[in-house]
Chains A and B, each alone.
Chain A
Amino acid sequence: MSPGTFVQLTGPNGSGKTSLLRILCGLAAPAEGEVKWNGADIRSLGEEYVASVTYLGHRHGVKDELSAIENLRISNAVNGVDVSQERARAALKDMGLGGRESLPARFLSEGQRRRAGLARLLVCNTTLWLLDEVLTSLDKGAVALVRSLIENHLNDGGIAIVATHQELELSTGRFQRLELTT
């Protein structure tokens, strides 16, 4: 896959979209075959590969006890990326959470929590994005926001693999569709 490629994974429930993404990010091991990144097996690359991937699963990865801004800053700090308070605040404002960034995430709605998780895409500087059903429970505005995020990412030479049933209709990038069957 070359820079600027967008792959949409589709297929009926249970066809293995999530499994494929988990294998691609290294959480699960493939039964046969191997995943290669820049010509090397990701198992041997280890942390080097992980540092260039952002994976967002269908569980948001947002702690209920922490506020949106703490979630964003801590999840990045654990990844070794320091995000300043202002940058995190700006990213959350862009995601439509302005004014709610200091509220513990358990007071946010499902869609708002999803937005808080997606804010990571704004501050990360990884090449490969693996997004698993991230559009569920998002409103139209947020879907448009995610679309423009992915477009910017592709224009910067990034790669995105997205499992979703919704049509994203991107204006840039090489679009591929991978239909999985059971």
Chain B
Amino acid sequence: MLRWIVWRDLMLAWRRRADMLSTVFFFVIVVSLFPLGIGPETQLLRTIAPGVVWVAALLASMLSLGRLFANDYQDGTLEQLLLTPQPLFLVVLGKTLAHWIVSEVPLVLIAPLVGVQFDLSRETLWILFVSLLLGTPVLSLIGSVGAALTLGLRGGGVLISILVLPLYIPALIFGSGAVEASIMGVNPAPHIYLLGAFAIVSAIFSPWATAAALRISLE
């Protein structure tokens, strides 16, 4: 049944490709504005690259989080999903997984390409890719809690950012830290491990929190 929920959300996303593309374009444009604005100062660009790419990824994921439950809430299908004979956290996990595939994986794939603008070495681009691959599930998982809590609220989009962005800070620190370490020539592995641990912890706890928040929002 989990795969049906993932399949359903992937199909819905495919039917509304424009939403998906807008997230990717936002990410690409925000990241590209920095090298254009700063000019060809390679040393400076290399220094700011990890932070810029990671912050752009955080902001881009804000764009798609509002849609995670809101569309289903409006047409009543979320109520139907709550009334399926399976634990709600599985439904949530399925929807979060689909959100990650639709909204975050494209960013992960395109990040090494936009990273070239910051004069990063091939090895650093690889670390950037790995750090985003491990870090973006955290964004989807923690973001789903915020999306569920702000469901049906007016101006929910801004509220999600205020709720969720502070919770992204550990992922941001370790994710950009890994890339920074790689630029400095230090071993980035400790950062990557901590990021992985953070991803596992959020995978265990946030579906429960999201499920509880959904029940409250729909009551």
Footprint of B on A, CB under 8 Å? 25-29, 47-48, 50-51, 53, 55, 57-66, 70, 74-75, 77-80, 104
Contacts and interface: CB of A to CB of B under 8 A. Distances in A.
Contacts of B77: 61-63, 75
A65 B12 contact: yes
Contacts of A53: 83
B15 A78 contact: no
B218 interface: yes
Contacts of A64: 75
Kindly state the interface size class of chain B when it binds its partner. Answer: 20 to 34
Given A63-B12, A64-B75, A78-B8, A51 B218 contact: no
Contacts of B85: 47-48, 50-51, 79-80
A70 B190 CA distance: 47
Interface string B70-83: 00001111011111
A55 B75 contact: no
B12 A27 contact: no
A55 B189 CA distance: 51
| Residue from A28, A50, A63 whose CB has the most chain B CB atoms within 10 Å | A63
B11 A66 contact: yes
Given A27-B218, A59-B76, 11 more contacts: A25-B83, A27-B219, A47-B85, A50-B83, A57-B76, A61-B79, A63-B77, A65-B15, A77-B4, A78-B84, A80-B86
| Residue from B1, B8, B11, B81 whose CB has the most chain A CB atoms within 10 Å | B8
A124 B91 CA distance: 20
Contacts of B83: 25-27, 50, 53, 55
Interface string B1-38: 10011011001100110000000000000000000000
A70 B11 contact: yes
B80 A61 contact: yes
B40 interface: no
Interface of B: 1, 4-5, 7-8, 11-12, 15-16, 74-77, 79-87, 91, 218-219
Nearest to B77: A61
A contact patch SS:
loop
A74 B8 contact: yes
A47 B91 CA distance: 13
| Residue from B75, B76, B83 whose CB has the most chain A CB atoms within 10 Å | B83
Contacts of A77: 1, 4
Closest 4 CB pairs of A and B: A59-B76, A51-B85, A65-B15, A61-B76
Nearest to A25: B83
B81 A78 contact: yes
A50 B84 contact: yes
A50 B1 CA distance: 15
Given A47-B86, A47-B87, A78-B84, A29 B219 contact: yes
A78 B3 CA distance: 9
18 contacts: A26-B83, A27-B83, A27-B218, A53-B83, A55-B80, A57-B79, A58-B76, A59-B76, A60-B75, A61-B80, A63-B75, A66-B12, A66-B15, A74-B8, A75-B80, A78-B1, A78-B8, A80-B1
A29 B81 CA distance: 17
Contacts of A79: 1, 84-85
B75 A61 contact: yes
Contacts of B82: 27
